[in-house]
Structure formats: C-alpha cells, structure tokens
Amino acid sequence: MREGPVAYQGAAGAFSEDAALQLCGAGALLRPCRTLEDVFLALVRGEATAAVIPVENSIAGDVPGCRALVARYYLQTGKTLMLPIVHALVASSEIRVDDVREVHSHPMALAQCRCFLAAHPRMRSVPAFDTAGALAELMRQPSRTAAAIASRRAAVHWGGVVLQDGIQDRADNCTEFWLVTPTSLTAAAFTAGGIGSKI
C-alpha cells in the first residue's frame, strides 16, 4: 500500500478509482479530483504524493494532455495497468432504454460507445466531467428520460439501475493507466510554466 494521498480524476466508482485501488492497494488513501487539471495540481502542490491517470484507450485513443503534462512537469512513471473497461447505461430508476433521450458521461466514454449511440439516434450525448460523476449528478436530480454511461461498480455505489450492460464498441475495450509521482524538478517546472492554461 502506498503512503500518502493518491489523486485520481472522478467521483467514487470511476474507472480511475478502480485503477488506483489496483495499482496502490485496497487500503490506499485516495483523493478524488473533479478534473485531470486538478489531479496534476494536487501533485505539483504537494497535496498528493502520487496520482493515477488514464493515458490511452483502445477505442478512443490518447487522453488529451496527459502524456504532455507528465513530460512537462518531470513526473516519474511507476507501475502501469491495462484496465478492462465495460460501460453500462445506467438510470436513476427502472425505465426503458427506448425512453432515454439524454445520455450523460465523460467525452472519452461517449466516444467508446459510438455504435450504441448511433443505434439510438433519439439519445442526445451530454458531456460530463466523469462517468461516475455523471451518474452521481443524475441520482441527485432523477429523470425519467436521462441516463449515464458508467461502470456497473458506479451503479452499485450510487444506487443506479443498469438498463443495459456492455455497450462499449468492442468487448476488449481497455484503458492504460499510469501511476505517476513528482520528482525534484516538478515544483520548479510548475512555478516556471503554470498549469491551468496548459492542460
């Protein structure tokens, strides 16, 4: 188990949280962050001793900004993980798939479910900061015509109803995650360049 907080992007039940637990151990102290920018800020400000970040998905490709920021702020890459990603359509209550008009999720998740969304043209994609976060928000404001794309694990955590599982374009969908830590050069690079405008 890693000592000190480990930052990750997303709400409880996010795929990044799952990756962090697998990379750092079930007893790791996790620090959820709303955006990837917040994850890097937590690292360079010393609010976290490590971070778990998604780098590349087998369907949607590179996660924008991650590799460049790892290099720019002299972060050290440790363990890596290829995490299988299975997306589910989750609602706040039992409704029909055909009644869903809005689908909320992270843009990368929406991109991994293009075939499903194309097969349901009446569903409008609504970008959100996170898969699990989209579901959490839906559970706070229930709707009979909205759903989120998230993991079954997130559905269990937030009490959502899985309408359809395995809606990603390919069964072998996976995302590569890196465990990164700051180095002696990280703070100086942050001071020199800033981070908020560059992610």
Q: Cα 113 to chain center, whole Å?
A: 15
Residues 75 and 136 grouped into a single domain: no
In the predicted model, residues of the chain with pLDDT beneath 70 are 1-2, 192-199
Residues 93 and 36 grouped into a single domain: no
| Domain assignment of residue 199, yes or no | no
Residues 94 and 80 grouped into a single domain: no
| Domain assignment of residue 1, yes or no | no
Dihedral angle sign, alpha carbons of residues 19, 20, 22, 27:
negative
Classify strands 174-181 and 88-91 as parallel, antiparallel or unpaired: unpaired
pLDDT digits (tens, 9 = 90+) for 39-58: 999 998 889 999 999 999 99
Task: Report the distance separating Cα 152 and Cα 163, nearest Å.
Answer: 10
| Domain assignment of residue 198, yes or no | no
Residues 96 and 52 grouped into a single domain: no
Residues 40 and 96 grouped into a single domain: no
User: What pLDDT is attached to residue 2?
Assistant: 59
| Domain assignment of residue 48, yes or no | yes
Residues 64 and 120 grouped into a single domain: no
Residues 6+ apart with CB under 8 A from 153: 13, 18
Residues 18 and 67 grouped into a single domain: yes
| Domain assignment of residue 108, yes or no | yes
Residues 74 and 10 grouped into a single domain: yes
Domain containing residue 48: CATH number: 3.40.190.10
- Three-class DSSP category at 58: coil
| Domain assignment of residue 101, yes or no | yes
User: What pLDDT is attached to residue 125?
Assistant: 98
- Count of the separate structural domains present in the chain: 2
| Domain assignment of residue 51, yes or no | yes
Residues 99 and 69 grouped into a single domain: no
Residues 41 and 62 grouped into a single domain: yes
User: What pLDDT is attached to residue 19?
Assistant: 98
| Domain assignment of residue 79, yes or no | yes
User: What pLDDT is attached to residue 176?
Assistant: 98
Residues 76 and 15 grouped into a single domain: yes
Packing angle of the helix pair 186-193, 36-44 (nearest 10 deg): 120
The domain in which residue 71 lies consists of: 6-84+174-193
Q: Which residue in 15, 177, 186, 190 is the catalytic one? A: 177
Residues 101 and 130 grouped into a single domain: yes
Is 175 a known active-site residue? yes
Q: Which residue in 15, 116, 131, 175 is the catalytic one? A: 175
